Each structure stands twice: as structure tokens, then as C-alpha cells.
Structure 1
Amino acid sequence: MSHSESIFGSRYLALTIGIILAAMTIGFEGLAVTTVAPVIAGDLQGLHLFGWIFSAYLLAQIIGTLVIGREIDRRGPALLFTAAIIIFTIGLVVAAIANDMYVLIGSRAVQGFGAGAMFTCIYTAISISYPDELRPKILGALGTAYVLPSMLGPYVAGVIAQQLSWRFVFWGVLPFLFLAVLLSLPAFRKLKMPSFQERNETGVIGLSVLLAIGTGLFLSGLGMLPKIVGMVLLFVGLALMVHPLRKLLPKGTFTFRAGLPSLIASRGLFFAAYVFTQNFLVLALTDTKGVTADRAGLIVASAALSWCIIAILQARWDAADKGRGRQKRIITGILLMITGIAIMAWIPAVNIVMAVLGEVITGIGIGLAHTTSGTVAFALAKEGESGQVSGSLQFADSFTPGVAIGIGGAIIAMSQTGGMSLEMGITIAMVFNLSLIVLSLFASTRTKQA
């Protein structure tokens, strides 16, 4: 490869800009909905269904990610990316015109399926189109594009909802989505998949749906604890989840088998810890420290800023050591995340300075670990398995955080039922979060490249 070749060179320019815009579109839409969800629920008289605005998206994303991850190796990314864009667009349009909470929740499920499928196609395109030397750069740019909306997205969405209507949040995503399609789809059509080795995998769709149902029951049960019905739903959901997870994830993921299984396990755990921290730190700052919502948003945005900077720098470091330091960067990133989260874990002592410091350090850590883990995963992928590996990466980024946040919410609810303060409940949840990242550190020591 020529030293002058880059992800913005003539060979890769259209694909690079297209997938960056697609990632920004998905990222903005997700964060915007977080901001306007209370307004939507109130307007559609569906506050009792508030949680399903997010749960429907998550559960459908699981199905979209796993199904497309298996099909893309067989059919190629162009057709499936087109289908994913159409599905995502339908979800946006239906949400924008919804006059009923159940219709809105259904539209969120359609959006989730489309978003999961889109990201799986994007990861696959990166795997088969960019050489190993350029993957750290495109993955760094992709991570930056996805995280960047967290700096302005919530504020912009709030202004739109206040000055116009929450419906324009969904309409406003469409022009950027169409531009992404215009730039990336021609490049997707030129991609040629490596030879596909037919695998004996039957019932992927059924397993994915079963996993989504099980996860839905599990999360619903968590929200009802400590009631008996909550415990029943939790255990039934958990029982339904076990078999699909064992079948759909790389063999050995739960036992941290060396190589790709440990990498997927580590990534799911450390990304869950990051998302968990962002959600519960905002709750702690606003509800126990009296920090305004906009200021709390700026504090957590400091992690996004440091993530963006490090995601770009890691590509230079990768080029300098020719990829030899990738595992070290993953481990270093997770250690930094442990440090950052530990600074913020004892909620009674946390102040704004500590929160910003912890967020910046955590952002540096996730910027190192997340981007580098994607590069290593594609290097470990066998021929004809790019789509499956892409699906596993996207699954790690969506499934584990959703489950972890559900557990955290249950911890807080049960602590308050037991008479504890909200501060102490969030502290216990943050300690649980630390256990996730420590477990991720152990798994990361087994992610050696073949």
C-alpha cells in the first residue's frame, strides 16, 4: 500500500464519507430520541409506556444485527444495506406521523432493526474494503462520527422540540440519511465478498427472535423487582436467552476462549460499562447533586470529546508500530476506564471536578479500547466470515449495554425499596459497573491475534 493512500483518497472517499454520515445519522437519532422521549410520551399520553421507546429499539436491533450478520456473508452488503436504509427510513417516517404511543413504539422497533442492520453492513464494508493498515483510521473516524452527536445532539433536539415539534427530530434525520445513501451505495455495490463457505446454521431468525423475547422478559422482570411476578419474568427471560446466546455468538465467548471469543466478550463488557456510566452519572448529577440537565450533558460530553481525540490518535500509533501494540492498547484503554469509573463510583463524594476528570479519563480509555478492538476483530476474521464478525461486534455494542443498564436500574429500585438513599443506590450500581469492566480486563488478556 502506498504511504500516501488514506481513507479520504480517491479510492475510498465516497465510501468513507458515506459510512461516516450513516453513523452520524444513527448516533444523532438515538441521542435525540433520548432528549425528546419525555415530550413524546406526554404528548401521546403514554408515560406508562415510556421505557418501551428504548426497549423496542434495543430488542429489534438485536434481531437486525444477528440476522443480517449471517446473511451478509451469503448475499453481500449492497442489497442488505439498501434494505436496511429503507427499513430505517420507514421507521423514521412512521415515528414522525405517529398519533398513538403504540404506533410510536412500533416505529422505534422498525428503526432499531434498520439501525442494527446498517451498522453490520458498515462494519462488513470496512472489513472487506479497507486493508489492515487503514482499518484503525476508518474505525477511528467511524467512532468519532458516532460519538460526535453526543456533544450537540441532545441540545439541538431539545431546541427543535421546544421551538417546532418533536416530530421534526425524526424528519430532520432524513436529509442526512439520503446523502449517506447517495455517497455510499455506489461504493457498496462495487464490493465483492470473499468466497463463502456454507455453514450448518439453521434457525438464525428464530433464535434471534427468541433472544429478543427472552431479553424483553428479562428487562421487564428487572423493572418489577422485588415483586414475585418480576422474579418469574426475570428467570423465564434468562432461560430463553441462554440457548440463543450460545448459538449466535462465537463459540467460547462465555468461557473467554482465546482469540475472537474473548475479544467479543471483552468489548461487550467494557462498552456496557461506558454506556452504563454515562446514563447513571447524569442521574446522580441531576437528582442528587442539583446539577442542571444541560450542565450534566456537558460533563458527560467531555468523555465523547476525549474519545474522539484518542480515536484519531490511535490510528497514528497503529501505523507507527505496524499493529504490534494493539492488544496492549486495548488493555491500557480498559485500565484507564477502570480508573475513570472508580473516580466517579463513590457518588456521595463526587463533585463537578471529579466528574469531569473521571469522564475525560474514561473517554480516553474507550477511545483506545473500542476502536482497536474492532481492528483486531477484523484481523482475526476468517475468510467468508466478515459479516458474522461484524454482526458480533455490533451485537456487543447493543445487547450488553441494554442488559447492564436494566440491571443497574433494578439495583437502584431495590435499594430505594430497602430504604437507602438514591446516592447510595447509584453507588451500589456503579460498583456493579466496576465489576463489569474488571471482568472485561481479564477477557482482554486473552485477545491475542492469530
Structure 2
Amino acid sequence: MLSGAFLLTTIGSCALVFLAAFESVAVTAVMPAVSRALDGAHLYAAAFAGPLATGVIGMVVSGMWADRRGPVAPLYASVSLFSAGLVVCGLAPSMEVLVAGRLLQGLGGGALTVALYVVVARVYPEELHPKIFAWFAAAWVVPALVGPAAAGAVTDLLSWHWVFLGVVVLVALAMLMVVPSLGRLGPGGPEDAEAAEGDAGHGPRLLMWATLAALAVLALNLVDGVPRVGGVLVVAAVAVTLLAVRPLLPAGTLTARHGLPGVILMRGMGAAAFFGADVYLPYLFTERYGFSPTLAGLTLTLGALAWSGASAVQGRLGERLPHALAVRIGMALVAAGILPALLTALLDLHPAVPVVGWLAGGAGMGLMYPRLSTLTLALSAPADRGFNSSALSISDSIGGALTLALTGIVFSSFAAGSADGFAAVFAFAALIGLVAALLAHRVTPKPEVIA
């Protein structure tokens, strides 16, 4: 992959994945400082839920576009949108403008991932695909380890603005490395054209549902404050989100049907529980304990280290640890990792308590996330692997986005930054983790199906 023919493409593609991942995880550490500077506590959750929601639209659009016209135009468009979002965020004079920039970031980031996967399929020979995807995975792990602390340090030494603006130049350099290989790519071949023609009616329908789901999630961040009918609008927005996401997932996902639907549901619930708490931990540390952005970021790094370590452990255990048991233990660890944060918010405990607890949360994610990916492929027919892999990512994004929108409502219903507000958010996230642990056995087919 580092030979002359692939060197720049490999470095540039991995750099793009790295930078998208960095922005995804690093912003968590600095958002409390951004919220304070822009007086934007009321939109704190929207800054996280928004890009997750628009990312789903980006995934669907980029996939359809790449199937019909090749990956070149979608990649240029996605990088442009992602960069534009960074610039808007970095120059934002208000929290409303920053959230708008985050929506652009999410749209471009979701499209970027899909476009790069198609580039890989077109540029690299099949025998190199496992290696480049392993590099992409590493490009996600490293930002999770160093991103929060690095973003905190940039905020302390310079300004939070540079967490966004500084990445724009790096994105441009990474894209320049990929450009030479893009010049050799044209539209898809006959097989791609035939597949695209076959999906001509299917794709727009998926795009419609993805857009509706994203808009419903975004509406959740706005309707709660509507006098007299805010609560009704919240329930309606949640119902529309679930209705819209249903066609994007395998049948039976929302009812926790055994087998693949249960796997896809667990992915969404895992993201909901973990990230529903994760984005409020640095907020708790900075608001209640006076942590600097750098120190708050380091606490998230410890959770990422536990995630990475547990992922390696489950890989070594292999089949000695059954999939369903790994998912159940993982979900239970996530819930257990949130409880110390809940108790800390209620009882004003030492900040070391939630930091240590979050090691359990990270370990839980590392234990179950790889198993859910493995199960998705194992339970998918070859013709359905694309749809099911997409469903796994969509469940991940919508699960996190929907929960973050709801935690934003829960948090804003209390005094800004109050102990009760933090406690309510952590209790909500922990409850999701506990329910998921009880449903974890549904990731395996019923015995009679196997027979």
C-alpha cells in the first residue's frame, strides 16, 4: 500500500479519515468552552446530535451518487462541505451559527466515508482491501486516544476557534494527495451501471426516509420550548424519527427481533447509552470542577484507551467468549460506567470517581462493538451485506443523535449546569444501557431458526 502507485493515495485517504475522526471526538472536549463563550448551553446537545443526523443523509446521497457517476465528484463535494462546515464553526459568532456549521460538517463527513470506500474499491486491488480498511480503523482509533487532549491543549494555548480552523488546511493537504489517483477514475463499469439502474427507484426512497429522520431529530432540539404544545411536539418528533428510520433498517429492528435485527438495534442502543453520557462528562468536569479543556479531554482519552484495550482482548478470546455474552457484558459495563457519573453529580463526589468509572464504559464499548460488526456480516446474505452494513452505521448515528437530542431536552429542563440536570442526563443514558443489556440475547437467532 506504500508502493509508488499507492503511496500518496494511502496517506491522503488515511489522513482524511483521521481528520474526520479527530473532529468527531475532539469537539467533545472543547464544546463546554465553546458553549460558555457563545452563551449556547441551550444548543449544547444540538451541536452533537445535528452532525450525526445530517451524516445519515450524506451517507445515502454519496452512495447513490458514487454508484451512478463514480466516486470522484462525491469525494470533492464531501470534502468541500466538511471544510465549509469547519470554517463556519471556526468563525461562528453565535451558537446558532456554530450548530449550522456542525450540520455541514456532518453532511460532508458522512458522505466522505462512503466516497472513500468506493475510491478504495476502484483504486486498490482486492487483496489490499483488508489492509487499507485496517488502516482506516487505526485512523479512527488514534484520534480517539489523542484527539480530546490535543483539542483541549489547542483551546488552552490558542483558542477553540483553531480546533476547527486549523484542520481546514490539513484537510486540503490530505485531499491534494488523493487527487492524482482520482484523475485516473472515470464512471463505474457496466456492472456498476447495471446495479445503479436496478436501484434507481430504491435510492430516492431511502434518501427521502433518511432526510425525514434527520429533520425529525433536528426538530427535537427546537420544539421543546414551544409554549403549551412543546411536549406533544417532542413525542411527535420521536415518532416521526422512528417511522422514518424503519425502512433504512432490517425488518424487525425496532421490535428487537432475534438475529440480525437485534444486532442492528444493539448497535444503536450502545451508541445511545455511551455517547449520551460521553458528551456530558467534560461538561460536568469543566462546569462543576473547573477542569481546563486539556484536563477534561484527558479523561475521555482514558475511556478511549479502555475501549482499545477491550477490543484487543475480545479479539484474542475469539469464540471462547460467545457473541451474545460479549454484547451483554459490554452493555452492562457501559451502564455501570455511567453510574459513577450519576452518583458524582448527585453527591458531589471526587471527580476521580467518574473518570475511573468511564474506564468501564470504554471497555464495554470495546468488548461489544467489534462483535456487532462481526455478527452483521455473519448473519447477512452476500447480496444484503451492503444494505446491512449501511444499516449498522445508520443505527449507530440515529441512536446517538436521537438520544443526544432527548438528553438536551432533559438537561435544559433544569437550571443550566445544575447537579440535577447532569444527574438526569446520566440516569437517562444508564437506563438505555440497562435495557440494552437485558435485550442483548436477541443478537443470536432463535434456536429453531438455526435448526
Measured against the shorter chain, the TM-score band is 0.7 to 0.9
The match for 1:3 is none
Query: Is residue 394 from structure 1 mapped to residue 393 from structure 2 by the alignment?
Result: yes
The match for 1:264 is 264
Q: What does the per-residue CA deviation read over 1:30-51, in whole Å, with 9 as the maximum and x for residues that have no partner?
A: 3444444455566667666555
Relative to structure 1, the CA distance from residue 411 to residue 70 in structure 2 (aligned partners, 3 Å threshold; closer, same or farther) is same
Q: What does the per-residue CA deviation read over 1:223-247, in whole Å, with 9 as the maximum and x for residues that have no partner?
A: 549x633212212213432332122
Equivalent residue letter for 2:367: L
Relative to structure 1, the CA distance from residue 430 to residue 267 in structure 2 (aligned partners, 3 Å threshold; closer, same or farther) is closer
After superposition, where does 1:276-355 map in structure 2 within 5 Å?
Answer: 276-284=276-284, 294-311=294-311, 317=316, 325=319, 328-329=322-323, 331-345=325-339, 347-348=342-343, 354-355=353-354
Relative to structure 1, the CA distance from residue 314 to residue 385 in structure 2 (aligned partners, 3 Å threshold; closer, same or farther) is same
Deviation at 1:342, TM superposition (A): 1.5
Q: Give distance in 1, aligned partners of 2:337 and 2:84.
A: 43
Q: Give distance in 1, aligned partners of 2:78 and 2:311.
A: 27
Q: What does the per-residue CA deviation read over 1:61-93, in whole Å, with 9 as the maximum and x for residues that have no partner?
A: 232123334444444444423321222123223
Relative to structure 1, the CA distance from residue 252 to residue 425 in structure 2 (aligned partners, 3 Å threshold; closer, same or farther) is closer
The match for 1:105 is 99
CA RMSD of aligned residues (A): 4.3
Relative to structure 1, the CA distance from residue 79 to residue 329 in structure 2 (aligned partners, 3 Å threshold; closer, same or farther) is farther
Partner secondary structure for residue 322 of structure 2: helix
The match for 2:247 is 247
Deviation at 1:24, TM superposition (A): 1.8
Query: Higher mean Cα deviation, 83-92 or 121-130?
Result: 121-130
Relative to structure 1, the CA distance from residue 158 to residue 392 in structure 2 (aligned partners, 3 Å threshold; closer, same or farther) is same
The match for 1:218 is 220
Equivalent residue letter for 2:365: I
Q: Give distance in 2, aligned partners of 1:231 and 1:398.
A: 24
Structure 2: state its 5+ residue gaps.
none
Relative to structure 1, the CA distance from residue 358 to residue 248 in structure 2 (aligned partners, 3 Å threshold; closer, same or farther) is same
Q: Is the 8 A contact 1:307 1:365 kept in 2?
A: yes
Q: Is the 8 A contact 1:58 1:112 kept in 2?
A: yes
Q: What does the per-residue CA deviation read over 1:397-436, in whole Å, with 9 as the maximum and x for residues that have no partner?
A: 322112123333444555779x994575355324423234
The match for 2:80 is 86
Relative to structure 1, the CA distance from residue 360 to residue 268 in structure 2 (aligned partners, 3 Å threshold; closer, same or farther) is same
After superposition, where does 1:194-233 map in structure 2 within 5 Å?
Answer: 196=195, 198-199=198-199, 200-201=201-202, 202-221=204-223, 223-224=224-225, 228-233=228-233
Q: Is the 8 A contact 1:378 1:386 kept in 2?
A: yes
Equivalent residue letter for 2:390: G
Partner secondary structure for residue 252 of structure 2: coil
Equivalent residue letter for 1:28: F
Deviation at 1:297, TM superposition (A): 3.3
After superposition, where does 1:30-49 map in structure 2 within 5 Å?
Answer: 30-37=24-31, 40=34
Q: Give distance in 2, aligned partners of 1:107 and 1:430.
A: 27
Relative to structure 1, the CA distance from residue 353 to residue 144 in structure 2 (aligned partners, 3 Å threshold; closer, same or farther) is farther
Deviation at 1:16, TM superposition (A): 5.2
Q: Is the 8 A contact 1:267 1:440 kept in 2?
A: no
Q: Is the 8 A contact 2:273 2:429 kept in 1?
A: no
After superposition, where does 1:112-151 map in structure 2 within 5 Å?
Answer: 112-122=106-116, 135=130, 141-151=135-145
TM-score when normalising by structure 2: 0.76
Equivalent pairs counted in the alignment come to 434
Deviation at 1:442, TM superposition (A): 3.3
Q: Give distance in 1, aligned partners of 2:299 and 2:53.
A: 29
Query: Higher mean Cα deviation, 270-279 or 92-101?
Result: 92-101
Partner secondary structure for residue 297 of structure 1: helix
Match among 43, 49, 60 for residue 54 of structure 2:
60
Partner secondary structure for residue 203 of structure 1: helix
Relative to structure 1, the CA distance from residue 382 to residue 343 in structure 2 (aligned partners, 3 Å threshold; closer, same or farther) is closer
Deviation at 1:360, TM superposition (A): 2.7
Q: Give distance in 2, aligned partners of 1:255 and 1:12.
A: 45
Relative to structure 1, the CA distance from residue 167 to residue 11 in structure 2 (aligned partners, 3 Å threshold; closer, same or farther) is same
The match for 2:369 is 370
Q: Give distance in 2, aligned partners of 1:16 and 1:150.
A: 20
Q: Is the 8 A contact 2:254 2:265 kept in 1?
A: yes
The match for 1:27 is 21
Deviation at 1:115, TM superposition (A): 0.5
Relative to structure 1, the CA distance from residue 427 to residue 304 in structure 2 (aligned partners, 3 Å threshold; closer, same or farther) is closer
The match for 1:432 is 431
The match for 1:441 is 440
Equivalent residue letter for 1:406: A
